[in-house]
Amino acid sequence: MERLIVDMDDVMADATGQFIDYYEREFGIRVDRESLNHQDEGHGFPDHQHIIKQFPHRPSFFRTMKRHENSYEVMRELNARYDLFIVSAAMEFPRSLSEKLEWLQEHFSFLTWKQIVFCGSKTVVHGDYMIDDMPYNLEKFNGEKFIFTAPHNLHHNHFTRLNNWNEVAVRFL
């Protein structure tokens, strides 16, 4: 069975939307998602960069992210057809370990604990395919690489792009 590696933040979970929501609660300003296009992750918000960088350190940041549209249905089918692993960098934000696990258990209850890998660097991961939003995670991957569209990666064009979960389904199912 072919191995498929799927990232969590900004692939399964809407991390960009979480930053937008936190920023609005903190400053009363709703930032348009499109205004973040072609900006590095966490950039593109008016001022307050030092506060925005603290959002992932706050309790419940990772636990309360929304699930990307159609991700549940497609992931369920992928789980039946592939040796599926969720691989998420979690060491930079230690609180995220338990929050990400709880989030996955709630939103993707069909996954087992054996399919979840939290790490500091994804260079140790091997498989046939990887879907990730961060180019640096894909660069050293040994299999076929797919970049999942997020505002911070729109200027990267050296990986096959998947814009949404419908496109993931077309490619892998």
Percent of the chain scoring above 70 in pLDDT: 100
Segment 94-116, tens digit of pLDDT: 899 999 999 999 999 999 999 99
Identify the pLDDT of residue 117: 97
pTM: 0.95
Residue 169 CA to residue 172 CA, distance in Å, equals 5
Confidence of residue 9 (pLDDT cuts 50, 70, 90): very high
CB neighbours of 6 closer than 8 A, spacing ≥ 6? 12, 75, 78, 84, 85, 86, 87, 130, 131
DSSP 8-state symbol, 39 = S
> Cα 58 vs. chain centroid, distance in angstroms?
18
Give me the count of residues in the chain.
173
Residue 33 CA to residue 9 CA, distance in Å, equals 16
Enumerate the β-bridge partners of residue 147. 132, 161
**Mean pLDDT within 113-133:** 96
List active site positions.
7, 9
Segment 31-49, tens digit of pLDDT: 999 999 988 877 888 877 7
For the chain, the C-alpha Rg in angstroms (whole number) is: 16
> Domains, the chain, ranges and CATH?
3-14+66-172 (3.40.50.1000), 15-57 (no CATH)
Long-range contacts from 132-141, C-beta under 8 angstroms, 24+ separation: 132/5, 132/7, 132/11, 133/7, 133/9, 133/10, 133/11, 134/7, 134/41, 135/159, 137/7, 137/89, 141/5
